[in-house]
């Protein structure tokens, strides 16, 4: 496992198991079991994934099985967009803690920069974002979360946030892959000592058959998924690939078995040159 130091000084694994659409006790159990067996120590979830309770139940079973304690894993969740607001966000985090059956989260993120069921261009979103961040700062000060951050924020949202935040976000989680290289956000993160954690690293599977990626994988004897994850990790980005297949779960974390920088500078450039602004998720640029 490779770790990065957050601005708190605490370490966070660079690779974790994503859990979007992992539903049902057995599905969650099998995925987490394979992940812990392979060496994963970070689990990413969210209130809107509707699996926090199953993850909490499975952790109670699986941590002892793998000789682990709660302190050995990094657990992160996210605020449901419907729960934006000072009191709503605070209460929502407490509910996530109860479902996950833990006293604290290692990381809690605002999932989306807009409140659900309000039009994207509504100016009230800015106020909701501020209130939610105030709630996260309170949770941080109370020790209920060790780190706080945001997800799907644009540069505009981040710069707005700087006007009221007394605590710097530790992590920005966004869609980021070779078809969507968001350099402005990466530069902002590096300038502000914020970890950029990526999702959709494999482009919902589309990038696995990209000729440039396949050619590099064949040349060096790796899997296309490993090439894509290494492209991100080699830039010191966090990744949270999702899988229910034990073999794929093991293959994804095996990127660390081959050294730190096994993609050449030319490989990195060729993969980055695939950028064409293609998104697989909602576009936050439309949010006021």
Distance of CA 212 to the CA centre of its chain: 26
CA distance 139 to 133: 10
Q: Specify the 3-state DSSP secondary structure of 120.
A: coil
Q: Which element (helix H / strand E) includes 268? A: helix 265-272
Q: Which element (helix H / strand E) includes 149? A: strand 148-151
CA distance 16 to 99: 20
* DSSP structure class, residue 254: G
Residue among 109, 127, 153 nearest 287 (CA): 153
Most distant CA atoms of the chain, gap in Å = 54
Burial of residue 87 (number of CB atoms within 10 Å: 0-12, 13-18, 19+): exposed
Contact assessment for residue 170 and residue 151, using Cβ atoms and an 8 Å cutoff: no
Whether residue 25 is annotated as binding a ligand: the answer is: no
Q: Which of 29, 49, 90, 153 is catalytic?
A: 49
CA distance 82 to 237: 28
CA distance 221 to 217: 6
In DSSP notation, 190-217 reads HHTT-EEEEE-TTGGGGGGG-HHHHHHH
Contact assessment for residue 202 and residue 192, using Cβ atoms and an 8 Å cutoff: no
Give yes or no: 49 in active site: yes
Classify residue 236 as left (phi > 0), alpha (psi -120 to 50) or beta.
Answer: left
Q: Residues marked as binding?
A: 111
Q: Residues marked as binding for substrate?
A: 111
Q: Which residues are catalytic?
A: 49
């Amino acid at each position: 496992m490779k770790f990065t130091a957050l601005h708190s000084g605490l370490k966070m694994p660079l690779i974790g198991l994503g859990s979007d659409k992992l539903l049902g006790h057995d599905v969650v159990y099998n995925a987490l079991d394979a992940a812990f067996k392979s060496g994963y120590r970070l689990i990413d979830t969210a209130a809107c994934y509707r699996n926090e309770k199953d993850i909490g139940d499975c952790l109670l079973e699986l941590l002892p099985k793998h000789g682990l304690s709660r302190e050995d894993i990094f657990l992160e969740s996210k605020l449901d967009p419907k729960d934006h607001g000072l009191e709503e966000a605070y209460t929502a985090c407490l509910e996530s803690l109860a479902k996950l059956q833990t006293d604290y989260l290692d990381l809690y993120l605002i999932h989306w920069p807009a409140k659900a069921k309000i039009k994207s261009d509504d100016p009230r979103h800015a106020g909701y974002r501020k209130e939610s961040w105030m709630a996260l700062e309170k949770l941080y000060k109370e020790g209920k979360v060790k780190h706080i951050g945001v997800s799907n924020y644009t540069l505009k949202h981040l710069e707005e946030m700087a006007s009221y935040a007394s605590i710097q976000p530790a992590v920005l989680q966004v869609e980021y892959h070779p078809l969507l290289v968001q350099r402005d956000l990466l530069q902002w993160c590096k300038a502000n000592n914020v970890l950029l954690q990526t999702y959709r690293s494999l482009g919902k599977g589309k990038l696995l058959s990209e000729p440039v990626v396949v050619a590099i994988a064949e040349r060096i004897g790796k899997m296309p998924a490993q090439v894509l994850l290494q492209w991100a990790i080699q830039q010191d980005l966090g990744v949270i690939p999702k899988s229910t297949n034990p073999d794929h779960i093991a293959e994804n974390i095996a990127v660390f078995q081959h050294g730190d920088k096994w993609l050449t500078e030319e490989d990195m450039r060729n993969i980055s040159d695939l950028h064409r602004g293609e998104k697989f998720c909602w576009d936050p640029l439309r949010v006021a």
